[in-house]
């Protein structure tokens, strides 16, 4: 199978099956020069997230198994706010059930059955 990028769940599946991955996994990206996800500390064991300004919040579990650290209550008064987000509701960081970025939403009909089984969602 040819793949430009492998998700965390895809890479984990390959590793569990003893298959050496040749897929690239996309690193954190930042929109318009804002802080990327890698500037935040996400501790899934303790259930907390810390932003670049040092604000720590609890991580909430979502119905789909992903988890979100929502910093919105602190963003409006934060000195680093303009470097972090342009969102009116403030910044949040979401990680997938396995601790990696959540699966991309891909239009129905564009994936093979095999890829759907590896954690991608359609809709």
- For residue 22, what pLDDT is reported? 74
Distance from C-alpha of 64 to C-alpha of 67, rounded to nearest angstrom: 9
Written as six digits, the tokens of 87 are 């969102």
Pairwise pLDDT comparison (119 vs 50), residue with the higher score: 50
Distance from C-alpha of 91 to C-alpha of 76, rounded to nearest angstrom: 10
Most confident of 7-11, 13-17, 29-33, 58-62: 58-62
Pairwise pLDDT comparison (26 vs 47), residue with the higher score: 47
- For residue 12, what pLDDT is reported? 73
Q: Provide mean pLDDT across the span 50-56.
A: 94
pLDDT band of residue 2 (cuts 50, 70, 90) is very low
- Measured from the Cβ of residue 16, the count of other Cβ atoms closer than 10 Å reads 8
Judge whether 84 and 78 are in contact, CB under 8 Å.
Answer: yes
Distance from C-alpha of 37 to C-alpha of 29, rounded to nearest angstrom: 7
Q: Which residues contact 8 (CB under 8 A, 6 or more apart)?
A: 25, 96, 98, 99, 100, 101
pLDDT band of residue 55 (cuts 50, 70, 90) is very high
């Amino acid at each position: 199978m040819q793949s430009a990028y492998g998700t965390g769940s895809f890479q984990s599946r390959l590793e569990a099956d003893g298959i050496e991955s040749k897929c690239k996994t996309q690193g954190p990206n930042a929109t318009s020069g804002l802080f990327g996800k890698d500037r935040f500390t996400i501790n899934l064991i303790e259930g907390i997230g810390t932003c670049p300004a040092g604000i720590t919040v609890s991580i909430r579990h979502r119905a789909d198994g992903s988890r979100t650290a929502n910093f919105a209550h602190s963003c409006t008064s934060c000195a680093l706010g303009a470097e972090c987000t342009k969102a009116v509701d403030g910044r949040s960081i979401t990680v997938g059930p396995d601790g990696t970025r959540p699966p991309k939403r891909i239009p129905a009909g564009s994936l093979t059955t095999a890829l759907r089984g590896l954690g991608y969602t359609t809709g």
